[in-house]
């Protein structure tokens, strides 16, 4: 492969073709550090044209490619397998914000832009880019689009797919499709944009995107409500939508065990209530009128929820600092889980009206099959997305419990299927769920997906072994 590597060095510069193990290490291990693959090289092109050149070289030599952004994925979609035959194409050098159009409410950015930088650039233009994730300081726009990332504001603004108007993509043959049109209406054939979004780099490499921007809200207010059951959380969601309409931006449910893990492993954080309650909901309102108007809406909502005995107590953030403190409780759940030990994660979606029944039923199934297991259940209740994670019994061996992952997954995923849900809400399939999805998708659906893959990537060089 010396000729291949030399061709890559000539194309993008020797400094951007890494072959030493120490240099490649960070690109080969997944975010959760559960798996480390191997690669022929890690290449870092600096432009769309250089990406296309690398792809053409890979076609010539028959070298598989694994596109990678911030490498924050959780399903092994952005790391190579252990064969060492593929290269990782890191897109982190494609990090320019090309244009901001405040009139059209759009921003054109390259795929290696870190999400937080895009958010900040929107703010500087007095606009809002609403995609918000726990990993926003390191995840990239290309990865967000490739997995159709969701986050905390899906209820109001939608997934990444809804936040993108156009794409620039390098095809598996090394051609460049420029679809960077900031149009909200373009009914001229198949929607190629939607084909590439959520494809996890298996159909081509996203190199740039036109993103939707929104007016900055005049006020953002946060409240934490305590409730007895997930069913009460669903009742609160219905009431909040009736009171607040489109102003309801975030609606995050968390069990008491989730927050107890946070305060255990991050002692500087404090629970805002004097006693513990079974469930909590973090609400956020974004109002276009005024802070006073938003505060009145939130107070009316909380008052009605207390009067109807939907909630047991509530705390309303009185400052930006208090709001951040409430969000920090939510955003530190995954970190607290990691500090507690290994766990078995599930990123699922359930029809919203059935979430309470799903949790009650599946919790019981898991306790029957794995006595003492501890449920870390939280997520974006407003769009039906739960992070339904299973921790080992207290004082049990992490490694022994993780050995039962396949059995735990089958219990959870079978229940998800029974409730008409999906085993992947926002993380994708990657390698981790590629075989698992075969238990739940029909043969017709899988064949359609495979046909698309074969049509666009007949040599199967683009992120092979992922999704299908």
Residue 113 pLDDT exceeds 90? yes
Mean pLDDT of all residues in 426-440 = 94
For residue 86, the domain's CATH number is: 3.30.43.10
Question: Are 211 and 224 found together in one domain?
Answer: no
Domains held by the chain: number: 4
Question: Are 315 and 347 found together in one domain?
Answer: no
Is 453 inside a domain boundary? no
Question: Are 27 and 119 found together in one domain?
Answer: no
Provide the pLDDT for residue 74. Answer: 87
For residue 360, the domain's CATH number is: 3.30.70.2740
Half-sphere exposure of 398 (CA within 13 A, CB side): 8
Provide the pLDDT for residue 134. Answer: 83
Is 54 inside a domain boundary? yes
Of 334, 364, 386, the position where a domain reaches its end is: 334
Provide the pLDDT for residue 63. Answer: 98
The average confidence (pLDDT) of the chain is: 95
Question: Are 231 and 298 found together in one domain?
Answer: yes
**Are 250 and 133 contacting, i.e. CB atoms less than 8 angstroms apart?**
no
Provide the pLDDT for residue 384. Answer: 92
Of 168, 187, 215, the position where a domain reaches its end is: 215
Is 419 inside a domain boundary? yes
H or E segment and range at residue 306: helix 291-307
The set of long-range contacts for 182-189, using a CB threshold of 8 Å and a minimum separation of 24, is 182/101, 182/104, 182/106, 182/108, 182/210
For residue 237, the domain's CATH number is: 3.30.70.2190
Question: Are 82 and 59 found together in one domain?
Answer: yes
Provide the pLDDT for residue 160. Answer: 95
Mean pLDDT of all residues in 106-134 = 96
Q: What confidence tens digit (pLDDT) does each residue in 41-75 have?
A: 999 999 999 999 999 999 999 999 999 999 999 89
Confidence tier at 444 by pLDDT (50, 70, 90) = very high
Q: What confidence tens digit (pLDDT) does each residue in 230-272 have?
A: 999 999 999 999 999 999 999 999 999 999 999 999 999 999 9
Is 460 inside a domain boundary? no
Question: Are 47 and 63 found together in one domain?
Answer: yes
Provide the pLDDT for residue 304. Answer: 97
For residue 198, the domain's CATH number is: 3.30.465.10
- Give dist(CA 256, CA 228) in Å, integer: 10
Question: Are 246 and 223 found together in one domain?
Answer: yes
Is 458 inside a domain boundary? no
Mean pLDDT of all residues in 349-362 = 96
Is 124 inside a domain boundary? yes
Confidence tier at 398 by pLDDT (50, 70, 90) = confident
Provide the pLDDT for residue 362. Answer: 98
Question: Are 49 and 130 found together in one domain?
Answer: no
Q: What confidence tens digit (pLDDT) does each residue in 136-145 have?
A: 999 999 999 9
Is 103 inside a domain boundary? yes
**Are 126 and 102 contacting, i.e. CB atoms less than 8 angstroms apart?**
yes
Residue 173 pLDDT exceeds 90? yes
Provide the pLDDT for residue 232. Answer: 97
Q: What confidence tens digit (pLDDT) does each residue in 24-35 have?
A: 999 999 988 889
**Burial class of residue 263, CB neighbours in 10 A (0-12, 13-18, 19+):** middle
Residue 288 pLDDT exceeds 90? no
Higher-confidence residue of 412 and 291: namely: 412
Question: Are 141 and 167 found together in one domain?
Answer: yes
Mean pLDDT of all residues in 8-25 = 97
Of 67, 90, 113, the position where a domain reaches its end is: 90
Question: Are 366 and 388 found together in one domain?
Answer: yes
Question: Are 223 and 323 found together in one domain?
Answer: yes
Is 165 inside a domain boundary? yes
- What domain range includes position 35? 2-90
Question: Are 40 and 103 found together in one domain?
Answer: no
Provide the pLDDT for residue 194. Answer: 95
Mean pLDDT of all residues in 282-301 = 91
Residue 129 pLDDT exceeds 80? yes
Residue 293 pLDDT exceeds 80? yes
Provide the pLDDT for residue 458. Answer: 97
């Amino acid at each position: 492969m010396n000729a291949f590597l030399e061709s890559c060095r000539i194309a993008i510069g020797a400094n951007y073709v890494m072959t030493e193990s120490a240099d490649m290490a960070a690109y080969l291990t997944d975010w959760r550090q559960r798996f480390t693959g191997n690669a022929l090289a890690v290449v870092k092109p600096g432009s769309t044209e250089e990406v296309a050149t690398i792809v053409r070289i890979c076609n010539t030599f028959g070298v598989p490619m694994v596109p990678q952004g911030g490498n924050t994925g959780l399903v092994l979609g952005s790391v190579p397998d252990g064969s060492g035959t593929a290269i990782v194409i890191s897109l982190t050098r494609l990090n320019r914000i090309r244009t901001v159009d405040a009139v059209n409410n759009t921003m054109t950015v390259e795929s290696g832009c870190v999400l937080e930088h895009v958010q900040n650039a929107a703010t500087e233009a007095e606009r809002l880019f609403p995609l918000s994730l726990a990993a926003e300081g390191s995840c990239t726009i290309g990865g967000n689009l490739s997995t159709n990332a969701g986050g905390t504001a899906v209820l109001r603004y939608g997934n990444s797919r809804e936040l993108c108007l156009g794409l620039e993509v390098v095809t598996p043959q090394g051609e460049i499709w420029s679809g960077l049109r900031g149009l909200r209406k373009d009914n001229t054939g198949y929607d190629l944009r939607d084909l590439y979004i959520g494809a996890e780099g298996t159909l081509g490499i996203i190199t740039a995107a036109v993103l939707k921007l929104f007016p900055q809200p005049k006020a953002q207010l946060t409240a934490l409500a305590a409730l007895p059951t997930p069913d009460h959380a669903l009742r609160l969601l219905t009431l909040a939508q009736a009171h607040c309409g489109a102003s309801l931006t975030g609606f995050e449910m968390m069990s008491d065990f989730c927050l107890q893990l946070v305060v255990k492993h991050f002692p500087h954080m404090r629970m805002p209530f004097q006693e513990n309650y079974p469930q909590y909901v973090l609400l956020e309102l974004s109002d276009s009128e005024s802070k006073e108007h938003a505060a009145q809406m939130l107070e009316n909502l909380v008052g009605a929820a207390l009067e109807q005995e939907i909630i047991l107590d509530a705390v309303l953030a009185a400052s930006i600092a208090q709001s951040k403190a409430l969000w920090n409780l939510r955003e530190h759940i995954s970190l607290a889980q990691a500090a507690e030990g290994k766990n078995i994660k599930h990123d699922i979606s359930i029809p919203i009206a059935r979430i309470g029944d799903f949790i009650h039923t599946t919790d019981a199934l898991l306790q029957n099959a794995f006595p003492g297991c501890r449920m870390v259940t939280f997520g974006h209740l407003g769009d039906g997305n739960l992070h339904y994670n299973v921790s080992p019994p207290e004082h049990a061996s992490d490694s022994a419990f993780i050995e039962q992952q396949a059995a735990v997954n089958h219990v959870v995923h079978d229940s998800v299927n029974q409730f008409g849900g999906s085993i992947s809400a926002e993380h994708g399939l990657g390698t981790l769920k590629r075989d698992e999805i075969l238990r739940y998708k029909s043969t017709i659906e899988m064949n359609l997906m495979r046909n698309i893959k074969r049509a666009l990537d007949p040599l199967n060089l683009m992120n092979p072994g992922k999704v299908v």
